Amino acid sequence: MDASPPIAEEAMDLAGTDQKMWVRMLAPALEPDGRTWACAYTIDAPLSAAGRGVGETSLLAVVEALRSLSRTLYGSDEYRSKQIGVEGVFGEWLTTPATSDLLDVAPYPF
């Protein structure tokens, strides 16, 4: 995806195993157009997802990446079936704030 270093990462618990699912947000990088910033993220298996946020500034790119990351986590079948958790608690708070469109399934708004 991107050669930028991680600026944030977290190991989330997976139900029924000691294996962890790593979530990483990478440092924002200026796009080739010289005006737009992009901030990539990755999520290990079982989600195996990657995405990015884009913005006019590096901070906006980080915010948009966090929103996309939130939607990917809280919108996943794994979250809804209580297979992903933090500190042994599954299907609840994942430390990542939830976007407002997911407040019916996730407890903390973005």
CA 88, 89, 91, 93: dihedral to nearest 10 degrees?
Answer: -120
Task: Select from 67, 33, 37 the least CA-distant residue to 54.
Answer: 37
The ranges assigned to domains in the chain are: 6-101
Q: Within 13 Å, how many C-alpha atoms sit on residue 84's CB side? A: 25
5-57 confidence digits (pLDDT tens): 999 999 999 999 999 999 999 999 999 999 999 999 999 999 999 999 999 99
pLDDT, tens digit (0-9, with 9 covering 90-100), for 64-92:
999 999 999 999 999 999 999 998 889 88
Residue type at 21 in one-letter notation: M
